[in-house]
A and B are shown apart, each in its own frame.
Chain A
Amino acid sequence: MITVQNLHTYRGLSYVLQGVGLTAEGASCTTILGRNGMGKTTLVETVMGLLPAREGSIDLDGNELAGKSPYQIARQGVALVPQGRRVFSSLTVEENLTLGARRGGSANPWTLERVYDLFPNLSRRRRNRGSDLSGGEQQMLVIGRAVMTNPRVLVMDEPSEGLAPVIVDLVGTVIDQLRQQGLCVLLVEQNYGLAVDVADKIYILSGGQIVWDGTSRELEQSPDVRHEHLGV
């Protein structure tokens, strides 16, 4: 379980996260929705240690993550599927997958074979460079790369961005599977449909603060919340 409390983060001079708090449980998908520029990526990068938190705490099963460096946070069991995919373009598919591979104390760890079973496309292209892949394949690759570290928490920043609807559906299916295998998925999305489909719990981020939280069903039944904070 990951618990974020009173998190404040600056990006350069701009004060982006202004006291964010949330909880994400294991074996579930917690989704953060919010319009452009509301601080979703800032939150993700603060959790991963890529941006320093000015104040607040990020607790993973009793261990404080705030103030640690990204590699230490990764070794504590957090993996990132970053916005814009960021595959290692000069590495082959297989090198991308094995780069950070760890067992991570998992009883049934992710291996190359399991990732290739999940994404047969990657298996066919294992010798290709990351830069040779299509957008959808790159998204599969970065999801595979992240699960190969056998994390406890998988943080995904807009994994559906710029993908064809079929691939978005695949991403949704994969998130569902990961959750069923016990992973805690922290998903940032702008794709409202995907979010309500896969989320067990939803937070809405606006102006650097959490302005609403509830279940998918509750959000579906609150058109005024959707309209005010998401414009849908």
Chain B
Amino acid sequence: MQLLVQTLNGLTLAGIMFLVSSGFTLVFGVMRVANLAHGAFYLLGGYIAFSTVQVIGNFFLGVLVAAVTTAVLGLVLERTLINRIRGNVMAEVLLTLGLVFVIDDVALAIWGGDPLSLKLPGLLAESSTLPGSHLVYPNARLLILGVAVLVGLGLYYLLRRTRVGAIVRAGVDDREMVGAMGINVRLVFTAVFALGALLAGMGGALGATVLTLGPGSDATILTFALVTVIVGGLGSFEGAVLGSLIVGLLSNYGEAYFPSLAHFALFAPLVVVLLIRPQGVLGRTTA
């Protein structure tokens, strides 16, 4: 029973990891930009959801407001700043790192330095008995699992079954040729960056219900996301799914069963994967 609970907790964590890292890997795969501000979008999403729930008392609206706000922010930042320095890796690192400081400080000014935890209203604060067992499990965590699966299916459909998805995948293969096919790649970049920010913001809103939210949460989640996408394979959607499951489960088992080795449990697989398959489990050999 205990193992089952820990597995479910690990899956919940994997769900949050997936929301955050799928956005990160999408942006990296298509734009070749390692967006260090991705964690800051997560943080912002969490805070915005927190405040929305405080004011309106509806969690779903909180998630929506968080996702839309971070998406718009991502869109504006891509259009005004990121697209000016495209292709210059050093400038991209410095710019996205600079954005982290700016967003963190703004968040500090608005929400203060104490860790917050998003208190869910109504039914979401309760627990349910899982069918076919006597297991009682928090509704909030079930919601996270459900949302992660839905978003995963939605992204899969978008990427595999639509023309937009084909353009995005083609962009990962050969960006230049996508332009030569008559497709405005800049527009695709903007859309992908906004989608990445949306996923991070959504991850923050959901993550804030089970993880503490405060200064530094962004760096923590970014580290997790980096491990996830490196293990799974940078730029690969399936890699993000697999990486999230590995990282979520391992780090939760680590915390639960050998807390002093929790970080080892998280980073050991990273080292092993990097030694055996430097491109990640589902990554491709050439970039």
Contact = CB atoms under 8 A, between A and B. Distances in A.
Contacts of A86: 174, 177
Nearest to A149: B182
Contact of B173 (A79, A91, A149): A91
A71 to B, nearest CB: 5
Contacts of A88: 169-170, 173-174, 177-178
Nearest to B182: A74
A45 to B, nearest CB: 9
Nearest to A77: B182
A82 interface: yes
Interface in A176-228: none
A69 B179 contact: yes
A35 interface: no
Range of interface residues on chain B? Answer: 10 to 19
B182 A71 contact: yes
A89 B284 CA distance: 11
A38 B182 CA distance: 28
Contact of A74 (B167, B170, B172, B179): B179
Interface in B44-83: none
B145 interface: no
A8 interface: no
Contacts of B134: none
B177 to A, nearest CB: 5
A90 interface: yes
A50 B181 contact: no
B176 A50 contact: yes
A50 B177 CA distance: 9
A95 B173 CA distance: 13
Contact of A82 (B173, B180, B184): B180
Interface in A46-81: 48-50, 69-71, 74-75, 79-80
Given A70-B176, A88-B177, A98-B163, A75 B182 contact: yes
Contact of A89 (B173, B178, B179, B181): B173
Dominant secondary structure at the B interface: helix
Contacts of A95: 166, 170
B43 interface: no
A155 B179 CA distance: 15
Contact of A71 (B166, B170, B174, B179): B179
Contacts of B163: 98-99
Nearest to B183: A71
A126 interface: no
B230 interface: no
B185 interface: yes
Interface string A1-24: 000000000000000000000000
Contact of A102 (B172, B179, B180, B182): B182
B179 A99 contact: no
A99 B181 contact: yes
Contact of B183 (A49, A91, A100): A100
A145 interface: yes
Nearest to B169: A90
Interface centre among B172, B178, B179, B184 (most CB of A within 10 A): B179
A82 B178 CA distance: 12
A71 B184 contact: yes
Given A74-B181, A149-B182, A99 B166 contact: yes
Contacts of A99: 163, 166-167, 170, 178, 181, 183
Interface of B: 163, 166-167, 169-170, 172-174, 176-185
18 contacts: A48-B180, A50-B176, A50-B179, A70-B176, A71-B179, A71-B181, A71-B184, A71-B185, A74-B180, A74-B182, A80-B177, A86-B177, A89-B173, A90-B170, A91-B173, A95-B170, A99-B183, A149-B181
In order of increasing CB-CB distance, the 8 nearest A-B pairs are A100-B181, A74-B182, A70-B179, A88-B170, A88-B173, A95-B166, A70-B180, A80-B180
